[in-house]
């Protein structure tokens, strides 16, 4: 039992390090997702503009 108590601080330090690593990984993934969301929003905006231009060109051709 004494040996287990002596290892407990090491285990706690290992768990804390693992938790810190996981938090860092989650933060990294969150930033990556935010960047992808921003790129998607930009692409959607460009697609919307292209659609408007195409519709205007179609209307012009019908005249």
Q: What ranges in the chain are assigned the alpha helix state H?
A: 2-62
CA distance 36 to 31: 9
Q: What is the pLDDT of residues 18-46, one digit of tens each?
A: 999 999 999 999 999 999 999 999 999 99
- The total of other beta-carbon atoms located within 10 Å of residue 43's CB is 10
**Residue 39 within any structural domain of the chain:** yes
Structural domain for 53, as ranges: 33-63
**Residue 38 within any structural domain of the chain:** yes
Which has more pLDDT, 16 or 56? 56
**Domains identified in the chain, total number:** 1
**Residue 12 within any structural domain of the chain:** no
CA distance 41 to 29: 18
Split at pLDDT 50, 70, 90, the class of 8 is: low
- Side-chain-facing half-sphere of 62: CA atoms under 13 Å: 6
Q: What pLDDT was estimated at residue 2?
A: 56
Q: What is the pLDDT of residues 53-62, one digit of tens each?
A: 999 999 999 8
């Amino acid at each position: 039992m004494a040996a287990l108590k002596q290892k407990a601080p090491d285990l706690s330090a290992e768990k804390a390090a693992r938790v810190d690593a996981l938090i860092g990984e989650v933060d990294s993934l969150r930033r990556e997702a935010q960047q992808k969301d921003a790129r998607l929003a930009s692409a959607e905006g460009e697609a919307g503009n292209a659609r408007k231009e195409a519709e205007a060109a179609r209307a012009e051709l019908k005249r």
